Structure 1
């Protein structure tokens, strides 16, 4: 009985939250040329324009440069004076279940995983909920795009990239089915002796199970490759058909692997099928920087705010991993687990900046580098001519939680709402207690 009462409580809470944000509608298309001038423009490719201007029209950037050497035509334009402020490209949150999860305690709101171990046919985009209250919170910290990713099993399915201000998933989609996601089978560390190992399993038995998992991957990839290269069959196979674009380069393969041994094994596995994978996690990637650079492997570093996995690791290694990789010439992306937690992504990059990378390179790990890995860098990821006007204005440093204050945000030129449930509750109770 208590279980049903708890479920009803959270269901009611979800309804209340939905009504609380019913007035936050997606922004209308841009109708007037917009000019931002006077701000420090962080282009996203490492360049900084101290007193810059940005012009965008019909959702596209039509001008970027130094405001001190150009006479701007402000006729019939919406002018935003941003002296002393900062403009950044929209932050991109990779590999998360945003819009697939609403309340972790209510099973009916969890739609990020499926039964089974090999699920390449699962597509996250069709389950993405644009009415979720979470994206509005993310926009308030400059996160304007996300890679919505399924989880669970060895092959989880395909992700899609969305912008975070839309009526439905069709409107939100920036790139559909951009990548397949899989986890490399890992042999758990076996510690023999008193209190060691796993009850009922020897080291050989555990290793055998891992090899069986790898063999299963070999089988499905071999079948999928043959399926993609052969004539169209009379009867379609949904699982194999979903993997076809891996072999023609239209879809990327993200492989979660952390130890240096597993990273190399995962790469060699993908190489057999002429696929260059993106490594996710990469806790020990800093040990094989030459290998990663020589093979043009991008690494998505997860959760810089964490403890090291190994007892003999430098306690600060999770902070330094990204900078070691980037300074060695590896394309690095910073990510964070979860969905609510995505609002802290810029501050993860701030930590990376403080531990050896520098602010502008750290910014790239959540903007242009991410766009390159997701295959959307021709249209977004930096503030450059011809790209989408997806950017935001902050009164302070966007990578510093103490000074970041996003005042305006634009997605494809549309001025999006920065209201959210947190702000509504803050105002409600500040009014109640007379707090200003």
Structure 2
């Protein structure tokens, strides 16, 4: 109960920022545009929430009268980081069932919308903002088809204010054959099932999915269905291209099967996980498939894999021409997203390309690259200023952050606790 009261108190002190009311100019910073370009001594001008100009401060000439000028010499400016595939705002306390709202009962739930359950009063988003994560794809879980995700900005009064893009994608877990470890003695139910039976069961699940997608496409192409079916109706925008299909799958053969399934039904797939995607880079590139690499800080899934493969996977894919995005499981952990990008940069990926895996590449797969993901004229002024390298855990120090031009509050529960107990122990030393 004490923890609940403290988190409520912390959030009461953090209100969403007010709209930008004056033109602002950032001067002298090292600007990481997000598209691979770096401006060593740059300027960034924004007004009414939009970027008006980005360039080299050493040659630029403009009138500073009436503008707010932020001197950022020696500091770094980055586009706001984007956390894909997270149950952020859908869960608060893992041990309290009433605060868990990320999954529904049932196997096929395309009609479930994560956005309407998103809790802007959660104490967690503020901790993400402090590390530069300013946007997130709020995603449902569970079943074979979990429902639709939406993209939000992390400084809002309610989910309507937070929404950047509603219902951007449906999320599906591809049926795979469980690994058979041999023997019919121990091992529980799987140990009592033959490999052939497991394959048949998995194929039956795929056939059921195939039937569902066929029925959904026929239903959505009917002008006035005689019977309303909410599940089938919710799949409409996959077939007209407004929504993508995010498919969680790891094995190379399963990835190929999932992509071919999506192409058969005329939907745009994005592979999530893709542990063995590095083995089929040519296939992925030829089919223009993006891959969301999960958990770069993890152990390999296969016993005979290179122990460093989770670090290398993103670099191998990106260097082969595949659009790569990084993600982390869970919600608290999202604050470490920039450090995941720093890790893949240390294992074979150019630093600015690593930055793109949490900015522009992510914006592309979410259908938001025209407004966020890079610091370009006309886009939202959603960015951060860090005293050091934001992808490095040792030097990441986010001093300011803006969402659509609004100068947001970077305080959070963790900082409040740090101040509280620092004051306590400092007082005891005197």
TM-score (structure 2 length as normaliser): 0.97
Q: Classify the secondary structure of the residue corresponding to 1:21.
A: helix
Corresponding position of 1:266: 258
Corresponding position of 2:372: 380
The answer for unaligned runs of 5 or more in structure 2 is none
Is the aligned partner of 1:327 residue 2:319?
A: yes
Matches of residues 69-88 of structure 1 in structure 2 within 5 Å?
69-88=59-78
Matches of residues 98-247 of structure 1 in structure 2 within 5 Å?
98-193=88-183, 198-247=190-239
Corresponding position of 1:29: 19
Aligned with 2:333 (options 331, 334, 341): 341
CA contact (8 A) 1:190 1:196 kept: no
Instruction: Kindly state the Cα deviation for residue 199 of structure 1 after the two structures are TM-superposed.
Output: 3.1
Residues of 2 paired with 1:227 and 1:368: CA distance? 35
TM-score (structure 1 length as normaliser): 0.96
Runs of 4+ in 1 over 4 A off after TM superposition: 194-197
Instruction: Kindly state the Cα deviation for residue 150 of structure 1 after the two structures are TM-superposed.
Output: 0.0
Corresponding position of 1:425: 417
Aligned CA distance change for structure 1 residues 46 and 416 (closer, same or farther; 3 Å): same
Instruction: Kindly state the Cα deviation for residue 231 of structure 1 after the two structures are TM-superposed.
Output: 1.9
CA RMSD of aligned residues (A): 1.2
The answer for unaligned runs of 5 or more in structure 1 is 1-8
Instruction: Kindly state the Cα deviation for residue 420 of structure 1 after the two structures are TM-superposed.
Output: 0.2
Aligned with 2:392 (options 400, 403, 408): 400
CA contact (8 A) 1:27 1:415 kept: yes
Corresponding position of 1:276: 268
Residues of 2 paired with 1:291 and 1:20: CA distance? 49
Q: Classify the secondary structure of the residue corresponding to 1:425.
A: helix
Q: Classify the secondary structure of the residue corresponding to 1:55.
A: strand
Aligned with 1:52 (options 42, 55, 59): 42
Residues of 2 paired with 1:257 and 1:421: CA distance? 36
Instruction: Kindly state the Cα deviation for residue 229 of structure 1 after the two structures are TM-superposed.
Output: 1.2
Instruction: Kindly state the Cα deviation for residue 13 of structure 1 after the two structures are TM-superposed.
Output: 2.5
CA contact (8 A) 2:273 2:293 kept: yes
Instruction: Kindly state the Cα deviation for residue 201 of structure 1 after the two structures are TM-superposed.
Output: 1.6
CA contact (8 A) 2:370 2:379 kept: yes
Corresponding position of 2:33: 43
Residues of 2 paired with 1:75 and 1:234: CA distance? 65
Q: Classify the secondary structure of the residue corresponding to 1:356.
A: coil
Deviates more, 1:50-59 or 1:215-224: 215-224
Instruction: Kindly state the Cα deviation for residue 196 of structure 1 after the two structures are TM-superposed.
Output: 6.2
CA deviation map 1:56-109 (0-9, x unaligned): 000000010000001231111010000000000000000000000000000000
How many residue pairs get aligned? The number is 426
Is the aligned partner of 1:362 residue 2:348?
A: no
Deviates more, 1:68-77 or 1:189-198: 189-198
Residues of 1 paired with 2:389 and 2:358: CA distance? 14
Instruction: Kindly state the Cα deviation for residue 235 of structure 1 after the two structures are TM-superposed.
Output: 3.1
